[in-house]
């Protein structure tokens, strides 16, 4: 049996990855593919926190057996059979960095190893470094390059722009006055 999984970041609309995974693949095989595709650090311990449809924790799978089996001994099909519908996959336990992996269902497409089939947005590290996806911007900040606010028909924004422009002029005048005081030619 083959399954379709969606990888997302909590609260971020501008990122996802969709994988096809063979049910016979171990969680470790899936982990290696995620680590490779998403450029997760190789020197960190990992953890799959398995959740059921209600969001209750069903199991925790790590590199070492912590009671539910090690990731290299547990297959994807085993987790589906146990009622797991999603994982919180910690790729850096110490820093509590994770992605959400959600089972979308079975698929008729055949794969031998996990395969990336859909992608949106940069790797998670980019979001940590300040990247903000267009979808995640507040509505009032969503503009394409070259698009003016006037195209939206919001008169209040036009007034705000004028006020901002006037404030900028006042600041420039103050800067000029400061410059005149600092570089007074008669002080020699």
Q: What is the number of domains present in the chain? A: 2
- Region 7-26: mean pLDDT is 91
Q: What is the pLDDT of residue 173?
A: 54
Q: How far is Cα 122 from Cα 112, in angstroms, rounded to an integer?
A: 26
Q: Is the pLDDT of residue 110 over 60?
A: yes
Instruction: Using the structure block, give the residue that is written with the tokens 């171990």.
Output: 26
Residue 144 inside a domain? The answer is no
Q: Is the pLDDT of residue 160 over 50?
A: no
**pLDDT tens digits along 125-148:** 776 766 565 566 566 666 666 666
Instruction: Please tell me which residue, 135 or 5, carries the higher pLDDT value.
Output: 5
Confidence of residue 11 (pLDDT cuts 50, 70, 90): confident
Residue 143 inside a domain? The answer is no
Confidence of residue 157 (pLDDT cuts 50, 70, 90): very low
Domain of 167 in residue numbering reads as 149-187
Same-domain status, 156 and 95:
no
Burial class of residue 123 in the structure, from the number of CB atoms within 10 Å of its CB (0-12 exposed, 13-18 middle, 19+ buried): middle
């Amino acid at each position: 049996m083959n399954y379709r999984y969606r990888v997302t970041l909590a609260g971020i609309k501008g990122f996802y990855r969709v994988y096809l995974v063979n049910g016979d693949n171990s969680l470790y095989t899936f982990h290696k593919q995620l680590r490779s595709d998403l450029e997760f650090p190789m020197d960190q311990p990992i953890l799959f926190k398995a959740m059921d449809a209600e969001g209750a924790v069903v199991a925790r799978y790590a590199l070492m057996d912590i009671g539910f089996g090690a990731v290299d001994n547990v297959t994807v099909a085993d987790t589906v059979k146990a009622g797991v519908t999603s994982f919180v996959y910690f790729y850096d336990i110490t820093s509590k960095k994770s992605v959400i992996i959600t089972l979308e269902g079975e698929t008729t497409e055949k794969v031998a190893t996990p395969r990336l089939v859909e992608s949106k947005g940069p790797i998670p590290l980019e979001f940590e470094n300040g990247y903000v996806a267009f979808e995640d911007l507040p509505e009032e900040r969503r503009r394409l390059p070259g698009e003016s606010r006037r195209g939206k028909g919001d008169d209040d924004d036009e007034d705000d722009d004028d006020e901002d422009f006037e404030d900028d002029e006042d600041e420039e005048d103050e800067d000029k006055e400061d410059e005149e005081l600092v570089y007074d030619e008669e002080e020699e």
